[in-house]
Amino acid sequence: MRANFAVGMLAVVAALAGCGGSDKPEEDEPMKVEDTAFGPLVGTQDKARDRANAAVEVHRKNLDDRLEQDEGDSRKEEPARD
């Protein structure tokens, strides 16, 4: 009878131990990208995009100026009316 009681208590203790919560390690906050080996590369895409957009804007302004000059000469004439 003692053996049955001991086995029963052992089963209860094992079941309760299995139901316990696990200890979760405290997660550290991830490092900032600037502090890693990739830090210098963070702004590279933005810089390249800004330079490309600036070049496009200069080209667009030149085209607009030229278009204004070309159309400006013909605008001096009055449009034909019906």
Note whether residue 10 is domain-resident.
no
Query: In terms of residue numbers, what domain contains 55?
Result: 44-73
pLDDT tens for the chain, 82 residues: list them.
888 888 888 887 777 766 666 667 778 888 888 788 888 887 888 899 999 999 999 999 999 999 999 887 655 556 666 6
Note whether residue 53 is domain-resident.
yes
Note whether residue 49 is domain-resident.
yes
Q: Say if residues 8 and 1 touch (Cβ distance below 8 Å).
A: no
Note whether residue 61 is domain-resident.
yes
Domain count within the chain: 1
Note whether residue 13 is domain-resident.
no
16/12 Cα distance (integer angstroms): 6
Note whether residue 51 is domain-resident.
yes
82/73 Cα distance (integer angstroms): 22
